[in-house]
Structure 1
């Protein structure tokens, strides 16, 4: 669990390093160019997706990668690593809310309170960081909006993939949806290559390999292993540890300053996560972060 929280917690600070020389769409494409072949290796011996399931998998891939992961890359480019990390921690909150709506269950007062606290925390994080001038503040708010869109899209992806994963297993659904999302992303990444100067450095390649191997593939299967061997309420602790590691890494790698407003925002977001997810263990089990 500690290794998994560290792997996922480092994902946003590490992505920040890759974006130094490679723009968001291209870095995302590089990441999933690494992940797709590895995911299909894990489908060997697994049930195959039927033809009628492919449109569903394609839609999930476009949503999860074309919207969720691309928005995350743009968000990381426009925020400090610590800001992006804590906003991404809201994904489990949105999963709980979307799962309740998907099952046609009312969103409880506890879940509404958790969501409200998380949104208040996002506002404090966005406005409480980068107070050196209007330009920095504007870019931080824009980046926070991208990160929030990413959290919504990824949470939606997890909830709407449950039926397929129950029928065919996690590995085939993850592999096919990732493939479709990657294919949908390629034209946009190609366009970006023509528009933006790009320097493919060893650092950028290393970031893409880390994100593809450790976060998208190893992280997923390590999460499934944890769920099989550790009680779900204990396994859910990964969701709370991940932003702690991410913020600590951002502070060490980029010197992010953690002011009082930022700290208050972190407390509200993690508090909202605790309130919304408590008592919703089934939703927790379905939520790998990346």
Structure 2
């Protein structure tokens, strides 16, 4: 690598920082926007619309890329079913049963669970500070789920089942990320992402058809706009921007958006739905973000 390339990689430009802020905004508001779409569309229908919109665009990204061999199909298919059929579906159903702010903070624990699964599957060590961060994050989740304020409107209510589903989603998506590392190293990130989305989408279709037949819903401009935003902006554009950042700035700097996303999400939830943020909620947020800082920061240092 040339000196110019090295300087570019380790001295992020103003444009790179602007891209990181944009990604934090795009991904940070995804759960509040999902909550908005769920006002008129049922969970499976919204999820299927999202990935049905994203799929054609994702395959545009793999034109000319490495092809996926047949022997890899079973693992990539299982990855898609895990990430979309379980992870994304659990998140959408969880958002139904939680306030947007609670769901946002619980989802912010995904990087923390990545540390756990990387230690188990990729044999990466977990330090004492990381273990402390994990405990703090779990304590924060408990406070967030119980400290939701006294809001009476349905969009701001949180149930234990809803919080548990969002937590299941965080666990599943974290494992999806760790497992995908092994596959993307062999077959390319864009290729694995596109084909795993195909299989996850196909797994959704029978259940979505059942839901559309049995659950009354109304197709509105808001619902369609939500599906378009989640499919194009969050899934396709967000992934493309993330991959660009990983190629142009150090991973430890690109990962800084993890700290901004929950802040953006909670602010958006408060503005869109009037979520009341009680003292326990605020304390829980501080514990989750503190746990995230301990796990991710220590991991960066050992990897340097």
TM-score by length of 1: 0.93
Structure 2 matches for 1:92-103, cutoff 5 A?
92-103=111-122
**CA distance in 1: counterparts of 2:257 and 2:194, whole angstroms:** 23
Change (3 A) 1:98 1:77: same
Contact 2:98/2:157 (CA < 8 Å) preserved in 1?
A: no
In the TM superposition, 1:46-195 aligns within 5 A as 46-131=65-150, 139-195=158-214
Tell me whether 1:247 sits opposite 2:280 in the alignment: no
Residue of structure 2 equivalent to 1:9? 28
Which residue of 229, 244, 268 maps to 1:225? 244
Mapped partners of 1:105, 1:256: distance in 2: 38
Query: Quick one: structure 1 residues 170 and 39, their matched pair in 2 at CA, closer, same or farther if it must change by over 3 Å?
Result: same
C-alpha deviation, 1:281, in angstroms? 3.3
Q: Name the SS of the counterpart of 1:278 in structure 2.
A: helix
- Please list the CA deviations of residues 171-214 of structure 1 after superposition, one character each: whole Å capped at 9, or x if unmatched: 11000000000000110111111221111111100000000000
Task: Report the Cα offset of residue 160 of structure 1.
Answer: 0.4
Structure 2 CA distance for partners of 1:98 and 1:283, relative to 1, 3 Å = farther
Alignment of 1:28-43 (within 5 A): 28-43=47-62
CA distance in 2, matches of 1:147, 1:225: 28
What is the TM-score of this pair, normalised by structure 2? 0.89
Q: How does 1:256-271 map to 2 (within 5 A)?
A: 256-271=275-290
Using the TM superposition, give the Cα deviation of residue 258 of structure 1 relative to its aligned residue in structure 2, in angstroms.
1.0
Aligned to 1:279: 298
Unpaired runs of 5+ in structure 2? Answer: 1-19
Aligned residue for 2:276, secondary structure, equals: coil
d(CA) in 2 for partners of 1:235, 1:51 = 33
Aligned to 2:11: none
CA RMSD of aligned residues (A): 1.9
Distance 2:151 2:302 in 1: 40
User: Conserved in 1, the CA contact under 8 Å of 2:27 and 2:261?
Assistant: yes
Q: Which has the larger radius of gyration?
A: 2
Count of aligned residue pairs for this structure pair: 283
Q: Structure 1 unaligned runs (5+)?
A: 285-290
